[in-house]
Chains A and B, each alone.
Chain A
Amino acid sequence: MAGNITLSVPAIIVNNETWAIVPNSFTYDGGEGEVNVRSASGGGNNANSVHSQNAETMIGKCKFDIFLVPGVDNKLATWKENVGANRVQAIQTQPITGETTTLSWDNMSLVNAVERNASADGVTSVEFEGDRMSIQ
């Protein structure tokens, strides 16, 4: 029986274009957000936990590294211009069954100042933030 395959080599699609990324560079946050837990004292030894969701942290994020190949600068400029209007998808296919898992982030902005490292082993990191992740 085949084991489960982890999301280690997803295809990254930004605005309908598949991008070859630096292996193992893709990290993401679904935007589930933080939950704050505090304690409310009931007197004596009694204490109840009080939970609250922190909506401030409900932001979808994903970042990955790409190589500085021709065309990257134009593409970065386009992504930067599309404030809140990029869409990023990560698709992992199970090799044997062919089933796919698609993670999507809508209405994303390219948030980081993109520093290009033009060297033999240089990579360029891009970070998108926007709506929370959806899974298909």
Chain B
Amino acid sequence: MSIKDGEFEFKLSTPLGFSFQGAKEETLMVTLFEPSMEHIKFYLKLKQLLTISQMDLAKASGMFDTIREGGQEVKPFQDDTENIELGVDETFQAFKASLEASVSVEMADFIGTFTKMILIPSRKPLARVDGKVPMTSTLWNNLSPDDAYNMAVRWCSFFAMPSQEGMKTTLDQQSDSHMERKEA
């Protein structure tokens, strides 16, 4: 279960009760999945919000001045899948810091967009509680606020990296056709 499979597990801090096959269960695990075209409206907005918040952070830290003075090395394209997974914790912390410090991005806007996206009726749900039950508004409302927020940021650090091609879809069909075009 990794970014290559288009899914990963998120651990809650508070147990979440849910109904499965007619009985009550509790779990600390939510499986999150990559977005599809059904989610594009919200997915792109999240990406934009994260980019804006990171720009804010860069401005505040004076990073732009450094780049203007010395420039930066242009790195060749490579399959960054493993690096993305290793760096997810760092990205998660960086996203949290930039969102919380941003003067342009409302956190309510961020979590509101994520909530709408995760709850839209979809053939391919973005979240399954305990890997079984699609996330519903009832279950979402039973989450602790911190779990909901962390889940949103963690999902973004896997699937909505502002400047990385981290999604599964870029690694199979699309990358194949790209290679063919290059060879021709």
**Interfacial residues, chain A to chain B (CB-CB below 8 A):** 13, 15-18, 71, 82, 84-87, 89, 104, 106-108, 130
Contact = CB atoms under 8 A, between A and B. Distances in A.
Interface stretch (B6-14, B20-28, B75-83, B156-164): B20-28
Nearest to B129: A16
Interface string B117-143: 000010000000100010011110000
Contacts, number: 36
A87 B138 contact: no
Nearest to B21: A85
30 contacts: A13-B19, A13-B138, A15-B19, A16-B18, A16-B19, A16-B129, A16-B133, A16-B136, A16-B138, A16-B139, A17-B136, A17-B138, A18-B136, A18-B137, A18-B138, A82-B22, A84-B22, A85-B21, A85-B22, A87-B19, A87-B22, A87-B23, A89-B19, A104-B24, A106-B22, A106-B23, A106-B24, A107-B22, A108-B22, A130-B22
Contacts of B121: 71
**Looking at B18, B121, B137, B138, which has the most chain A CB atoms within 10 Å of its CB?**
B138
B71 to A, nearest CB: 53
Interface residues of B, number: 13
Contacts of B129: 16
Contacts of A15: 19
Nearest to A131: B22
A1 B19 CA distance: 36
Contacts of A107: 22-23
Nearest to B121: A71
Q: Which of A16, A84, A104, A106 gathers most chain B CB within 10 Å? A: A16
A13 B139 CA distance: 10
A107 B25 CA distance: 13
Name which of A15, A82, A86, A107 has the most chain B CB atoms within 10 A of its CB.
A15
A123 B180 CA distance: 58
